[in-house]
């Protein structure tokens, strides 16, 4: 995941330190997001915390569509 994101935070796009990383769920649990790789990304722990349970409706819709199509 680190190499995939080139060491950049998925939320603010700034470089991350390896000791300041959180695994962020693109779609939070409370919206039905799962633990699968496609729903995970790396972010600063502070960015992850400030983001909490907010999610773009477009992303949520796409996620649910993918899940529906692939079941
Ligand atoms: Zn960040």
Confidence at residue 69, expressed as pLDDT on a 0 to 100 scale: 87
- What's the gap in Å between 62 CA and the centre of ligand 1? 23
Please, what are the domains in the chain? 1-71 (1.10.30)
Secondary structure (3-state) at 15? strand
Whole-number Å distance, alpha carbon 16 to ligand 1 midpoint, is: 7
**Measured in angstroms, how far is the CA atom of residue 71 from the centroid of ligand 1?**
32
Q: What is the pLDDT of residues 26-57, one digit of tens each?
A: 898 888 889 989 899 999 999 998 876 678 88
Report how far ligand 1's centroid is from the alpha carbon of 48 (Å). 7
For residue 43, the tally of other CB atoms under 10 A from its CB is: 26
Q: How far apart are the first and last CA of the chain?
A: 24
- What is the number of residues in the chain? 71
Question: What is the model's pTM?
Answer: 0.74
């Amino acid at each position: 995941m680190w190499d995939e994101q080139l060491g950049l935070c998925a939320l603010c796009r700034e470089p991350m330190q390896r000791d300041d990383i959180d695994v962020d769920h693109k779609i939070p649990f409370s919206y039905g997001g799962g633990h699968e790789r496609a729903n995970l990304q790396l972010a600063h722990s502070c960015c992850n915390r400030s983001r909490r349970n907010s999610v773009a409706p477009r992303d949520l819709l796409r996620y649910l569509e993918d899940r529906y199509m692939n079941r």
